[in-house]
């Protein structure tokens, strides 16, 4: 069963990863997370480190998704070459950007991803080429809509074929309406509700970021099946504080 098939039928819980130590990635999988988002947009990891993180995730049942810096064909292709289970593209504001992201993530006929089968994702050329190209087109493609422009263009973005998850970034959404950080303001929550309603009608899997456990539960009730809870290093800090403060 593909990762997409799983999240179409049940809620998956993950976290964002900003660590440089692949042992923490492996530990997250051992702990039972469904997926981890290896963050190259706001994280310090190089592509070399990301390769190690992907290997660490594959030691467990946890799926790895790489968030690239933006709609960049080379970055998207390089991320998928690592053998990750998916790619997440931030700051998608128009249908053309959505099409460009899909084009970069899929081989023909779904796109025009740069072709090299001598990469880790294809076992450095040892995997049957037909099997590789077929399987590569089943990798998860997540598009982030996180601003007013994106919400205004949402209908046309949702009509783009080839992506799997629409991910809402509440913090960037809050900034776009002039309330940076107020992710639980009425305006942000109403926007998220409108986005989720439109996506659900199109049959698109919904994703979002959450930084408190109560919000996880409300997102589940709203139909979000791809929920990224907090960030690994912050979770570590919070647990250490329980020891030192307690």
Half-sphere exposure in the Cβ direction for 125 (13 Å, CA): 2
Q: Which active-site residues does the annotation give?
A: 42
Residue 227 has pLDDT above 70, yes or no: yes
This prediction has a pTM of: 0.96
Pairwise CA distance, residues 171 & 181, whole Å: 6
- 242, pLDDT greater than 70: yes
The pLDDT tens digits for 126-172 are: 999 999 999 999 999 999 998 899 999 999 999 999 999 999 999 99
Q: Buried (b) or exposed (e) across 57-78, using 16+ Cβ within 10 A?
A: bbebebbbbbbbeebebebbbb
DSSP states along 8-41: HHS-EEEEEE--S-HHHHHHHHHTT-SEEEEESS
Q: Any idea which residue has 């002039």 for tokens?
A: 178
pLDDT tens, 46-75?
999 999 999 999 999 999 999 999 999 999
Domains of the chain are 3-245 (3.20.20.60)
Look over the chain and give the mean of its residue pLDDT values, rounded to a whole number: 95
Going by C-alpha positions, the residue among 74, 79, 89 that lies closest to residue 53 is 79
Give pLDDT tens digits for 93-121: 999 999 999 999 999 999 999 999 999 99
Instruction: Work out the number of other CB atoms within 10 angstroms of the CB of residue 129.
Output: 11
Q: What is the pLDDT of residue 125?
A: 96
Looking up tokens 């080429």 gives 129
Per-residue DSSP letters for 49-114? Answer: HHHHHHHHHHTSS-EEEEE-SSS-HHHHHHHHHTT-SEEEE----SHHHHHHHHHHH--TTT--PP
pLDDT tops 80 at residue 246: no
**What's residue 1's pLDDT?**
79
Give 71-93 pLDDT, tens digit per residue: 999 999 999 999 999 999 999 99
């Amino acid at each position: 069963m593909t990762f997409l098939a799983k999240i179409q039928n049940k809620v998956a819980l993950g976290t964002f990863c900003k660590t440089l130590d692949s042992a923490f990635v492996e530990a997250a999988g051992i702990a039972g997370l469904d997926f981890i988002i290896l963050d190259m947009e706001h994280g310090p990891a190089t592509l070399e480190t990301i390769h190690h993180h992907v290997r660490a995730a594959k030691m467990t049942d946890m799926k790895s998704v790489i968030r690239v810096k933006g709609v960049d064909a080379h970055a998207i292709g390089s991320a998928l070459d690592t053998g990750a289970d998916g790619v997440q593209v931030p700051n998608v504001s128009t249908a053309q950007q959505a099409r460009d992201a899909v084009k970069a993530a899929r081989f023909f006929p779904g796109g025009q991803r740069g072709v090299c089968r001598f990469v880790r994702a294809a076992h450095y050329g040892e995997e049957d080429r037909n099997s590789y190209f077929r399987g590569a087109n089943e990798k998860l493609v997540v598009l982030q809509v996180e601003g007013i422009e994106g919400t205004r263009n949402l209908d046309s973005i949702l009509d783009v074929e080839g992506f799997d998850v629409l991910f809402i970034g509440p913090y960037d959404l809050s900034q776009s309406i002039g309330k940076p950080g107020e992710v639980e303001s009425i305006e942000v929550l109403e926007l998220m509700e409108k986005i989720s309603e439109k996506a659900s009608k199109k049959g698109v899997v919904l994703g979002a970021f959450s930084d408190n456990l109560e919000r996880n539960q409300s997102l589940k009730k709203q139909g979000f099946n791809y929920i990224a809870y907090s960030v690994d290093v912050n979770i570590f800090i919070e647990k250490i504080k329980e020891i030192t403060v307690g």
